[in-house]
Amino acid sequence: MAKDKIKNDNILLIGFMGSGKTSIGLKLSYKLQMAVEDTDKIIEARENTTISDIFATKGEGYFRKLELELLYEIRNSTNRKIYSLGGGTPVQLQNQSIICQCGKVVYLRAKPETIYDRLKGDTTRPLLQCDDPLSRIKDLISKRSFAYERCADFIIDVDDMEQSDIVDRIVEFINVDEVNDENSCN
């Protein structure tokens, strides 16, 4: 997506639930010596409860409103940080342009089977609490892929990769991109 109005130079990790955004964010933070934040955790701390509880008591719409407000804050902040975004954040069209204005966007792309293996038995993702989570994952990924790809500056197929290699690929991308930015006339 065009980045004509970047106000900030964060690194944003996007991707489906279980794609590794939180753990890769932490490792990347260590490697780049940059602070890392997880938007779900920020929302949980502010609401003083869990994501599951927010979905159950106030509904998904309320949660999506909090996500959008947080995106505006990230865009308007002058700090440079790594952010792991919730898996559904890039889905709303309105969110996509804001995400792109927040900084460089890395999409951790994973196959439905990989996600299913990683999240089997997980009870913290309200959208996957159903009789057939694999079908739900397949359905959501097929509906969301376009949104993730639209926001992404860089895509990594994470299925068979070690976390350390994923981090190295991101660092390489950020470095190359910064050199390109410096050499750009715009």
Q: Which residues bind ligand S3P (CB under 6 A)?
A: 17, 21, 40, 51, 86-88, 125-127
Q: Which of 68, 86, 78 lies closest to 103, judged by CA?
A: 78
- Shortest separation between residue 182's beta carbon and ligand S3P, angstroms: 33
The tokens describing 134, both together, are 């694999």
Query: Which residue number, 37 or 40, has a Cβ lying nearer to ligand S3P?
Result: 40
Count of Cβ atoms closer than 10 Å to residue 9 Cβ? 15
Please identify, using beta-carbon distances, which residue of 7 and 126 lies nearer to ligand S3P.
Answer: 126
Count the neighbouring beta carbons within 10 Å of the beta carbon of residue 156. 23
Which residue lies nearest ligand S3P, judged by its C-beta? 88
The Cβ of residue 108 has, within 10 Å, a number of other Cβ atoms equal to 25
Shortest Cβ distance from residue 21 to ligand S3P (Å)? 6
Counting DSSP H helices and E strands in the chain, the numbers are 8, 5
Residue 185: CB minimum distance to ligand S3P, A: 37
Q: Which is nearer to ligand S3P, 3 or 92 (CB)?
A: 92
Tokens 């892929």 correspond to what residue? 145
State in angstroms the smallest separation of the CB of 4 from ligand S3P: 28
